[in-house]
Chain A
Amino acid sequence: MQNFKLFLWLLFFFLLQSVILPRWAVLGVKPDLFFVILVMVAFTQGILPGIIFGMFAGLLQDFLSSGLFVHTIGLVVWACVASTTHQSLAGEGVFGLLKLVALLTPLYNIFGFLLLILIYHYSFTAGSMFFIVVLSTIFNVLAAGLIFPILSPYLLPDGFRVAKKDVITYF
């Protein structure tokens, strides 16, 4: 039942991201809920659930937005980074998570820009890249603050300690 509820919440956030948020985008920039949830999953569940979620969410996001696999690659790589570095980078609790989202969103976007520019020869301007990085970081932190209370009962059934222990045990 818990898993089913989690699935319904993820479906809701997917529809929010693909149907509703594009209409409310500020100058074409909107929160990246896939990335925010990925950081939560990697933060609380560890590297493997993070990679699996990242792969599935990335494929979905890529098929909806381009024929390239920039999001699939980005989400899998950043699931790995988020789960292995959150202790040293961000710390514990909700504020740790928000700090992690604030730190990783610019890096995730820059990683995407670099892939597109270097491999696929896309033409971004420095101004638009800076604007997207700043705005999406603000949006993602706000979104993480709103989403975490909703998803935490499903992601953290036994609290933070158990989840962190799992991550430490894995490495």
Chain B
Amino acid sequence: MESSAFKKYLTYVLIIVFCIVFINLPRIRDNFLISGFRSALISVVYPVQYVAQATLAATFGRAANLAQLFGAASENSKLKQTVSELKARSAAYDSLAAENTELRQALGFYSRNQYGYRLQSCRIVAGGASNLFSALLIDRGARSGLVRDLAVVSENGLVGKIDEVFPYTARVQLVTDPGLLISAQVGRTRDFGVAAGCAQNRIRLLYVPSAADVRVGDSVVTSGRSDIFPAGILIGKVGKADKNNYDLFQTISINPAVDPAKLDIVFVVRSN
């Protein structure tokens, strides 16, 4: 066999072996070597992402201010400059006021503590880098006492659960992730079902009997029949409910209560 043909087949064989190995790696994800490698890689990347996120927040927070200042520079009149500066300050105050409101809402939610659990606030460092999964990285990890399978909520409702913990950060699997199934209940009718993410910021409610009277706009909450999610956390509202006389279950689509793109602060639900 020619050496180039041999090299080609060897490459294909190696890639098949590589695929088999990597398909089976998640089964031993708690292995010391694999989790150590994961933690090391994420610990290297995390500070860079943290700085980028902080810079981004600061830049967008003061964008209006900067725009005003550039506008003032183009004006060749002292009076107009003063007015522009005042406008710039006003824009900065608006930005600060908006941030203040957001923080107050978060604080209010934290103080009310409607779920009766200890909550730990976390900032979002990065979003998921993939279209196949829905995930977030938060700025707390094993050093802050977080462990896997803790529920994550925001003032609007359920965000997801902690999927993996690294020393200084943790990955949150969002409710819209196709791999996450949650025991859910329709608020008005008390019918049970399973909320399953299907990517693209949508959730389906599975296994709700055709006889159930589910209507568009009904709230869907966590049922509490789970070790991870406390009862009564809003998952979303029914956006579409189709029933067929011949089917056992309805086809229900839920609009999630939380838009992950707009989240800045989330809360991890700790033990009682």
Contact = CB atoms under 8 A, between A and B. Distances in A.
Contacts of A60: 41, 45, 129
Contacts of B137: 18, 64
Interface string B2-39: 00100110011001001100110110010000000010
A64 B15 contact: no
Contacts of A72: 22
A65 interface: yes
Contacts of A25: 127, 261
12 contacts: A23-B261, A28-B201, A32-B130, A32-B131, A66-B133, A66-B135, A67-B163, A80-B11, A109-B131, A123-B196, A124-B199, A128-B200
Interface residues of A, number: 54
B204 interface: yes
Contacts of A1: none
A132 B200 contact: yes
Contact of A17 (B53, B129, B164): B129
B127 A22 contact: yes
A64 B12 CA distance: 28
Interface residues of B, number: 52
A102 to B, nearest CB: 16
Interface in A149-171: 170-171
Given A80-B11, A113-B132, 15 more contacts: A19-B53, A22-B126, A23-B261, A27-B201, A28-B200, A51-B15, A64-B130, A65-B129, A66-B130, A66-B132, A66-B163, A80-B15, A112-B132, A123-B196, A132-B131
B126 A73 contact: no
Contacts of A61: 129-130
Given A60-B41, A123-B178, A77 B130 contact: no
Interface centre among B11, B48, B176, B200 (most CB of A within 10 A): B200
B171 interface: yes
Interface of B: 4, 7-8, 11-12, 15, 18-19, 22-23, 25-26, 29, 38, 41-42, 45, 48-49, 52-53, 56, 125-135, 137, 163-164, 171, 173, 176, 178-179, 181, 196-202, 204, 260-261
Nearest to A30: B131
**Looking at chain B's contact residues, is the secondary structure mostly helix, strand, loop, or mixed?**
mixed
Contacts of A89: none
B4 to A, nearest CB: 6
B131 A23 contact: no
Nearest to B164: A67
A76 interface: yes
Interface of A: 11, 14-15, 17-25, 27-30, 32, 34, 47, 51, 59-61, 63-73, 76-77, 80, 109, 112-113, 115-116, 119-120, 122-125, 128, 131-132, 136, 170-171
A73 B17 CA distance: 11
A19 B128 CA distance: 8
Contacts of A109: 131-132
Contact of B199 (A11, A20, A132): A132
B11 A124 contact: no
Contacts of B12: 80
A145 to B, nearest CB: 19
A73 B135 CA distance: 19
Given A15-B49, A19-B127, A67-B26, A28 B176 contact: yes
Interface centre among B128, B137, B204, B260 (most CB of A within 10 A): B128
B25 A19 contact: no
Contact of A64 (B48, B171, B202): B171
Given A73-B23, A124-B199, A125-B198, A65 B130 contact: yes
Contacts of B197: 123
Give 10 nearest A-B pairs by CB, closest first.
A22-B127, A65-B130, A69-B22, A28-B201, A65-B133, A122-B178, A128-B200, A18-B126, A66-B133, A65-B128
